[in-house]
Amino acid sequence: MDTYSGTDATAPLTYRSDCPSRTVIEVIANKWALYVLAALRRYERPLRFNELRRVLDGITQKMLTQTLRALERDGLVSRTVYPTVPPRVEYGLTSLGVQVGQLTAAIADWSLEHTREILAARIAFDERAATEPAPVR
C-alpha cells in the first residue's frame, strides 16, 4: 500500500481503494447514516425503529433497515431486543457512535452556518450556466 510523505510515512492514503478506512468512511459519509447518528445523538436515548422513521422524514423502511445494520456492523449503533410480544427493538449509540457523533455534529453545524452562502453560490452557478452559449458541435 502506498503511503504519503507527510509526518507519518506509514499512514495509508485514505483515498486509495485498498485503504481499510475507506469502508468506514463510506458508511459514515452516507447521508442516512449521518441523519440516524444525529437523531440518536439529539434524543440522547435509544429509539425504536418507527420513532427513527418518523424523525427521519423521507427515509424508506428498507433504507433505514440497511443503514441501521451497517451502523450496527461497524459498532456505531447498538440494537437491543426486548422479549415482549411483539418484540420491542431499540437502537442507541455505542461509545464509538458517540465519538463519531461529534464529527457529524460538526458537519451539521458547518452546514447550518454556511447554507446561505452555498445556496447563493448555486444560484450564481445556475444563472451563469443558463447564459453561457451552447457548445458548437
Rounded to two decimals, the pTM is: 0.77
Q: How confident is the model at residue 10 (pLDDT cuts 50, 70, 90)?
A: low
The percent of residues above 70 in pLDDT, for the chain, comes to 91
Q: Are 54 and 91 in contact (CB under 8 A)?
A: no
The DSSP secondary-structure symbol of 11 reads S
Q: Are 76 and 92 in contact (CB under 8 A)?
A: no
Within 10 angstroms of residue 101's Cβ, the number of other Cβ atoms is: 19
Domain that holds residue 66: 21-131
Determine the pLDDT at residue 25: 84
CA-derived radius of gyration, the chain: 20
pLDDT in tens, 111-128: 999 999 999 999 999 998
Q: Are 107 and 34 in contact (CB under 8 A)?
A: yes
pLDDT in tens, 74-100: 999 999 999 999 889 999 999 999 999
Within 10 angstroms of residue 93's Cβ, the number of other Cβ atoms is: 22
How many structural domains are present in the chain? 1
- Give me the residue label for grid cell 451502523: 71
Q: What is the CATH number of the domain that holds 118?
A: 1.10.10.10
Residue 2 lies in a domain: no
Residue 88 lies in a domain: yes
Give the C-alpha separation, 62 to 115, whole Å.
29
Residue 10 lies in a domain: no
Q: How confident is the model at residue 39 (pLDDT cuts 50, 70, 90)?
A: very high
